Chain A
Amino acid sequence: MSLNQPIRVAVLLSVGQHPVTARPRRADQDARALELALQLGNVEITPLHVGLMNEQNEAALRSYLGMGIRQIRLIEPKAISLQESPDILFSLEQGVRDSGANIVLCGSRAETGESSGLVPYLLAKKLGWPIVSGLVSIEKIEQGSATLLQALPRGQRRKLKVSLPAVLTVDPAAATARQSAFGPAQRGSIKTHSPSTSPNLSDADLQKSSASDSVLWQFQPAKKRPKRLKIIKATSARDRFKAAAAKADASGGKVLQGVSADDAANEIIKLLLEEGVLNLDSRL
């Protein structure tokens, strides 16, 4: 990447599904990815969507336009039936390469279909770029690298530096997407591109996709998962009765009575340090 080359960000947008009404909508995580890109400022954003153009999809895609982008680039693949077929991946790769992007931003998983979260990884492998998942924000983009903030469990954050170009997927903890405005959504355009070169899939690729067992997959509405029962392995009737009837007993904890405040404080600090929740490095 030369010095005066602008940063180009390709944002992969998908059509989501409302969890209650099951209507098509903008996918929540993809909208967050777009929000992240919009907040960067001073970058060129190329919103990309691979899929078919119909009335329902258009409404969903227009709600991305309502976030303040002028155009969505839509690539219509030839075969859409197979999930994550080589054709879709090929279209995605072509779209990213045509846009000349250094950064690909997307949600971590789709809201329809298998939603396995594998697409960003497959795309990264195809492009040969590194992938970072669970992104919360992009702090800084320098020549050839970006400093990122990654979400860890329990609200913790980690700073990473990744060499560009790279694929980045956002975490649900990233900033919520802005509202979609009606006017811009109607004014914006969805421009259909056909892939610059026709999918030059090798026979082996096609074979793999047709031989893949995904045709045999069965989708059903999600069943409620069985709640795990507490298994009681008691040898005597008394133990079984106790396990079934007893209220939360003293859990074998340490009870300190009549100790001085200092000793009590020492005990507390000892436990906190053992568990590693007390950070003595922080100021005050």
Chain B
Amino acid sequence: MTVSFDEIPEKSGFCAIDCIHSTPILHHRALILEPLLALRFNGVDSPQGIKRKAPHNVGFIGPNGIRRIDRSGAQQGGVASRKEVAQQSSRRLHSIDQPQHHIMVVADMTGGRLSAQDKDILGLAHQLAAKKAATAVMLVVFGEHKETTFAESGVDRLLHIEGDAFEGFSPDLRLAWLAAIEREMQPDYWIFPDSGLGGGDLGRRLAVELEVHAATGLWQVNLNEEGFSCTCRASAATQDLTRALPRVILALAECAEPISDTLHEAQEVKLMREPLDQLPRIQDLGAVAVDPASVSLAEAEFILSGGNGIRDWDAFHETARILGATEGASRVAVDDGFMPRDRQVGATGTWVTARVYMAVGISGAIQHLQGIQSCDKVICINTDAGCDMVKRADLALIGDSTEILAAVRRKVSELKQEKRHVA
């Protein structure tokens, strides 16, 4: 095959390939085909003025002479990137110039980012906002945050209240701010995530302050024309309570679909009149060090999990102690007697929710992978690069776990020493 590529005008990468393999006869044939090639993939106006495509001339001929059609766009170079750009901007822009009404959403912002529940209640807020013209959804954020996707999550207006006091537990101060917002904006609804200490606490405080009988544990809203009603969990989640929708709402996770197809302004606003400082009656004395071994596996934040690939279990326990991680194990490690049964991770053991899950010497049986479904970041140390755990992991290290763990122990101890010397 000696067709020179120079003579085929570069229309697209695989036009050239296609042409070489399917017409390996004549050198100049390529030149004759060239205008046709150009038309083939873009479609061509027929004499009747209808756009036509040649359906048989798609794909390319693979290395073994078989025609291949790849619709992923991976083979088409430049075309794929154009497609991606088109997809990104496909979100409809939702903008409100002069909002007449407001719906306030007070997010938990766990770890400085919108949690899944926060995104759900933003979706709920937009369901309510859609019922009234010129209604903007405003998000109230206390303290520092790391979130960059406010616009994608459905935030029309953003009220960011800064201050060092918001780092800790400061319900009185937060309530004072919310009361100030209430006075100034008179929002139609206040929506909180009904979660333990964040929105659950603050929302109840505000409801009592505003003398509203809040809907707690809300999981469904029915927005009929006759009137809005909602369904809440009652009697310690054994009953459903259907009632009219009040102004203050404390909603459970998955109460509504999060925003997925619109882009919002996330425009920052400021409050005209800030609340006065007051003497706090509750003082935050800071976090208390908790022994990670005493934390139950299901709610541990950081788990170091060991499996069949671990040779030195003493070193494993030492690593967990130095890293401050809760220990977990795969079924094999438990069956072999290296770890107790209550430390088993997976569908047959404990379903974990850790933010960081570090799997050492675990190849990733399907039951184990199910058990770590809701983990954010997975680190994996394994000798086999082809195992399922490596596919699941966000960071996979292929090598001997004993050596790598030893290096981790050494480096973390060094870092701690440095820190202590500086302090």
Contact = CB atoms under 8 A, between A and B. Distances in A.
A214 B412 contact: no
A261 B299 contact: no
Contact of B395 (A125, A152, A271): A271
Interface in B379-423: 379, 381, 385, 388, 390-400, 403-404, 406-408, 410-413, 415-416, 419
B143 to A, nearest CB: 15
A254 B213 contact: no
Interface string A122-134: 1011000011111
Interface stretch (A39-47, A186-194, A219-227): A219-227
A278 interface: yes
Nearest to B398: A257
Contact of B238 (A17, A122, A277): A17
A256 B391 contact: no
B33 to A, nearest CB: 28
Contacts of B224: none
Interface in A219-276: 219-223, 225, 228, 231, 233, 235-238, 248-251, 253-259, 261-262, 264-269, 271-272, 275-276
B71 A154 contact: no
A269 B415 CA distance: 10
B20 interface: no
Given A216-B243, A228-B254, A284 B399 contact: no
Contacts of B379: 268, 271
Contacts of B237: 222
Nearest to B396: A255
Given A134-B197, A150-B197, A220 B239 contact: yes
Contact of A158 (B87, B288, B412): B288
Task: From A157, A249, A264, name the one whose CB has the most chain B CB atoms within 10 angstroms.
Answer: A264
A261 B407 contact: yes
A282 interface: yes
B299 A155 contact: yes
A235 B324 CA distance: 45
B416 A280 contact: yes
A213 interface: yes
Interface in B231-250: 233-244
Interface in A68-92: 84
Nearest to B295: A155
B235 A264 contact: no
Contact of A256 (B242, B257, B287, B398): B398
Contacts of A265: 404, 407-408, 410-411
Given A115-B235, A115-B236, A265-B407, A272 B323 contact: yes
A248 B391 contact: yes
Interface residues of B, number: 94
Nearest to A153: B196
Given A125-B209, A261-B404, A268-B395, A284 B322 contact: yes
Contacts of B254: 225, 228
Contacts of B111: 276
Nearest to A120: B204
A279 interface: yes
B238 A160 contact: no
Contacts of B321: 284
B290 interface: yes
A94 interface: no
Contact of A217 (B196, B243, B407): B243
A257 to B, nearest CB: 4
Contact of B301 (A130, A154, A166): A154
A156 interface: yes
B236 A235 contact: no
Nearest to A279: B324
Given A155-B295, A163-B281, A264-B397, A275 B377 contact: yes
B197 to A, nearest CB: 5
A282 B285 contact: no
Q: Which of B219, B244, B323, B385 has the most CB of A within 10 A?
A: B323
B213 A253 contact: no
Nearest to B69: A238
Given A258-B398, A276-B111, A264 B404 contact: yes
Contacts of A62: none
Nearest to A16: B236
A132 B280 CA distance: 13
A258 B385 CA distance: 11
A221 B282 contact: no
Contact of A269 (B87, B205, B392, B412): B412
Contacts of A264: 381, 397, 399, 404, 407
Contacts of A150: 169, 197
Contacts of A161: 282-283, 285
B284 interface: yes
A58 interface: no
A151 B281 CA distance: 19
16 contacts: A118-B214, A121-B208, A130-B281, A130-B282, A152-B287, A153-B196, A154-B300, A157-B287, A157-B290, A162-B282, A213-B244, A254-B396, A264-B399, A266-B411, A267-B397, A284-B413
Given A115-B235, A134-B196, 6 more contacts: A113-B234, A113-B235, A116-B216, A153-B299, A233-B261, A255-B393
Interface of B: 71-72, 87, 110-111, 168-169, 172, 196-197, 200-201, 204-205, 207-209, 213-214, 216-217, 219, 233-244, 254, 257, 260-261, 281-290, 294-296, 299-302, 321-325, 355-356, 358, 369, 376-379, 381, 385, 388, 390-400, 403-404, 406-408, 410-413, 415-416, 419
